Amino acid sequence: VDTEDAASVAAFRASHGELLDRLAQLSRETRANADLAAKIRHKYRLKNTCGLSLNALVDFDEPLDILSHLLVGSEGTLGFISAVTYNTVPDHPHKATALIVFPDIETCCNAVTVLKTQPVSAVELLDRRSMRSVQNKPGMPAFVRELTEGACALLVEARAASQPLLHEQLAQIMGSIAHFPVEKQVDFTEDAIENARLWAIRKDTFPAVGAVRETGTTVIIEDVTFPVEQLALGVRRLIELFEKHRYDEAILFGHALEGNLHFAEHGTGRNMAPFVELEWGSEAYGLMWQLKRLLDPAGILNPDVVLSDDPQVHLKHLKPMPAADAIIDKCIECGFCEPVCPSKGLTLSPRQRIVMWRDIQAKKRAGTDTASLERDYQYQGIDTCAATGLCAQRCPVGINTGELVKKLRGEQASHTKAASWVAQHFSTALQGARFSLHAANGARMLLGAPRLARISSALSKATSGRVPQWTSAMPQPENAIRVTLPVEDQRPRVVYLAACVSRVMGPAASDREQMSLMDKTRGLLEKAGYQVVFPLEQEDLCCGQPFASKGYPEQAEEKRQQLLAALIKASRGGLDPIYCDTSPCTLRLVQDLKETRLDLYDPVRFIRTHLLDKLVFTPQQAAVAVHVTCSTQHLGESQALIDLARMCSVNVIVPEAIHCCGFAGDKGFTTPELNAHALRSL
């Protein structure tokens, strides 16, 4: 039934009249039972998702309304929901967040009671163990490490439609709790980056604690909710239970305004099924079973989930998390990584890669043949992973699934001699790449772009991606750099490190702009008053990224060290800044960099630190679309890039929900479906 479509509703009433009549009868019987109706209303004064949504029976008269509200929170158990229309609420643009640490739980919970009457949009409670679990993460306030053992914190957020109103609210909020003793605090801040850091404390606590569990064990979430006026007593009793039963890593955090602690809205499936009757009583529990049998008479929807006759079901079928690889063993499969993965929905997400690899390793240990699984995993898990590591940025414990994939590629790498030859004869390899681009460009002129695209697509499929697929965006070859020796004059020097792709690949024939990136960059640097110098023998130099991504770490590090030595010489021992024209190369060089003399810059950081005062920026009317590369995100320059674009154009567009483009070096050529999937929303 489509509840927004009158014809659909009428048809459903005709076909399911008996069902609707029975729901109406159950509603009347429930409301006539004063004690039961009162219990239901009381339970839903608190945060409650245990069992089925019995409040639908007392809140609505119309049986179709009862049905639709019964399904809320019970999709998959009572029925299937294909679409939901939300009523939106204002997302006020002006926000401020504070972290207030109280000396003990009682004081903290008493402050919650006061804050419930104030203009706050969120109040989150974090006990000392919660804060300890994330105290060493980047961006955490230093004082978190020094808090006393009994400390308890509140993360408080306020929102308003205007800044004056927000400031008025903040003054009111702080005045209301000024009489409570405070151990430490981060005052209300409106800075978006600082706000995100504070909320990361709350967001990352559960996964961080789950990550320190013993390898091979499973994480279990429990929830409990209290009336706010009894929150302090409830928290104290929970901590006593942790201590009594030696749950030394257990933490308390949750929505303080609702008295809801995660430890009333999670863990309500098989985890709670044997205890639903204990919580609700036999009368309400029997009503839930009547609803289940009415809507799912065959019992095929989520059997034993939410409702079960098995008193031991909470101890069965626990999700296994077997040891698989030290890189991923900390993963609790929370899924925070998934939104930024370009292959999610095409093949596997980072979480799914980990789950499948765990399953393969567990089956191997059990003596099960995994050949078929591993064949599927080759494409699903390894070949379609961009391995850029954005998943590690989202993971609360920094797991980089791409590192696992690169390790597996290394174990499969069978062309070590060829990789070593390329590393030692890199200029020859670049010449070969230029020749290939010359050939592709010649074929385009001879055959025409449409025919070449069809032929190359067929060849790419026939060779499983070994022959790259030609597209109209295929670059033309770029000539090798003609290096001139630096001259002695008064101009400041900058070492220009042109990446391999910049030295080999020029604009596509279809591009409006036909000046190469190198020529553009050199012209801009000279316009700013710099003498541009290049490392000697630049054609032989590479940061090693192509080798690392293919599973050849030794050759990758050999090229990296060769390049660093050349940069020391070119920069006169680190005297001159080094401009690298691509962020992936910059990131590769600065990671674990022990050579402190080198002053390495990606384009964004160099422009904002060295060129803003040397050039005049005049915003143009032409629209500019900005994609922040994965490496730029890793370098922390995302917002700076967007800000620079806004200095150049009055119309800057940042596409939503595109985090990684999926090109991943050469996968745009060899696995174009990954790139296409990542950019499908453009």
* pLDDT for residue 18 is more than 80: yes
Q: How many other CB atoms sit within 10 Å of the CB of residue 163?
A: 12
Which residue do the tokens 């296409």 mark? 676
Work out the pLDDT band at 256, boundaries 50, 70, 90: confident
Work out the pLDDT band at 117, boundaries 50, 70, 90: very high
| Largest Cα–Cα separation, the chain | 97
Alpha-carbon distance of 433 to 53, in angstroms, equals 64
* pLDDT for residue 265 is more than 80: no
pLDDT digits (tens, 9 = 90+) for 642-675: 999 999 999 999 998 899 999 998 898 889 999 9
Q: How deeply is 171 buried, as exposed, middle or buried, from its count of CB atoms within 10 A (0-12, 13-18, 19+)?
A: exposed
401 touches 350 (CB < 8 A): yes
pLDDT digits (tens, 9 = 90+) for 590-632: 998 988 889 999 999 999 999 999 999 999 999 999 999 999 9
Which residue do the tokens 């990352």 mark? 204
Sorted by sequence, the CB contacts under 8 Å of residue 369 that are 6+ apart come out as: none
* pLDDT for residue 267 is more than 70: no
pLDDT digits (tens, 9 = 90+) for 314-369: 888 888 889 999 999 989 888 999 999 999 999 999 999 999 999 999 999 999 99
Hey, what are 598's tokens?
């080198």
Integer distance in angstroms from the first to the last C-alpha of the chain?
Answer: 33
pLDDT attached to residue 235: 84
Buried b (16+ CB within 10 A) or exposed e, 184-215: bbbebbeeeeebebbbbbbbbbbbbbbbeeee
Work out the average pLDDT over 276-291: 96
pLDDT attached to residue 268: 66
> For the chain, what is the radius of gyration of the CA atoms?
30
pLDDT attached to residue 230: 87
For 204-213, 399-408, 455-464, which range has the lowest pLDDT when averaged over its residues? 204-213
Work out the average pLDDT over 417-434: 95
**Phi and psi (nearest 5°) for 536?**
-70, 150
pLDDT digits (tens, 9 = 90+) for 173-195: 999 999 999 999 999 999 988 88
pLDDT attached to residue 266: 56
* pLDDT for residue 264 is more than 60: no
Instruction: Give the torsion sign (CA, 349, 354, 358, 361).
Output: positive
Residue type at 529? G
Which residue do the tokens 């390790």 mark? 407
490 touches 519 (CB < 8 A): no
Work out the average pLDDT over 270-286: 92
570 touches 534 (CB < 8 A): yes
pLDDT attached to residue 469: 81
Alpha helices (H) in 44-75, listed in sequence order: 55-59, 63-70
Hey, what are 534's tokens?
């290049």
Strands 578-580 and 505-508: unpaired
Alpha-carbon distance of 517 to 502, in angstroms, equals 7
* pLDDT for residue 435 is more than 80: yes
pLDDT digits (tens, 9 = 90+) for 302-320: 999 899 999 999 888 888 8
Work out the average pLDDT over 140-158: 91
Q: How many other CB atoms sit within 10 Å of the CB of residue 348?
A: 25
Hey, what are 638's tokens?
């995302």
Work out the pLDDT band at 33, boundaries 50, 70, 90: very high
- What distances in angstroms separate CA 2 from CA 8, 14, 20, one per listed residue? 6, 14, 15
Which domains are delineated in the chain? 6-86+278-310 (no CATH), 94-262 (3.30.70.2190), 447-574+583-597 (no CATH)
Hey, what are 8's tokens?
């659909």
Task: Give, in degrees to the nearest 5, the angle at Cα 538 between 534 and 540.
Answer: 170
Work out the pLDDT band at 219, boundaries 50, 70, 90: confident
Alpha-carbon distance of 455 to 446, in angstroms, equals 13
Alpha-carbon distance of 637 to 650, in angstroms, equals 20
Alpha-carbon distance of 324 to 404, in angstroms, equals 10
pLDDT attached to residue 49: 77
* pLDDT for residue 139 is more than 90: no
| Residue 382 DSSP code | I
**Phi and psi (nearest 5°) for 599?**
-115, 90
Buried b (16+ CB within 10 A) or exposed e, 549-576: bbbbbebbebbbebbbebbbebbeeeeb
Sorted by sequence, the CB contacts under 8 Å of residue 652 that are 6+ apart come out as: 623, 624, 625, 626, 642, 645, 646
Alpha-carbon distance of 528 to 609, in angstroms, equals 13
pTM score, whole prediction: 0.79
pLDDT digits (tens, 9 = 90+) for 492-539: 999 999 999 999 999 999 898 999 999 999 999 999 999 999 998 899
H/E element, 188: strand 184-189
3-state DSSP assignment of residue 36: helix
| Residue 608 DSSP code | I
Work out the average pLDDT over 189-216: 82
Residue predicted with more confidence, 435 or 197:
435
| Residue 222 DSSP code | -
Residue type at 355? V
Alpha-carbon distance of 136 to 212, in angstroms, equals 14
CA 435 from centroid of its chain's CA atoms: 40
Work out the average pLDDT over 456-479: 85
Phi-psi label, residue 245: left if phi above 0, alpha if psi -120 to 50, beta otherwise: alpha
| Residue 534 DSSP code | -
The chain-wide mean pLDDT, for the chain, equals 91
Residue type at 407? K
pLDDT attached to residue 300: 96
400 touches 354 (CB < 8 A): no
pLDDT digits (tens, 9 = 90+) for 45-83: 877 778 899 999 999 999 999 999 999 888 889 999 999
Alpha-carbon distance of 512 to 515, in angstroms, equals 9
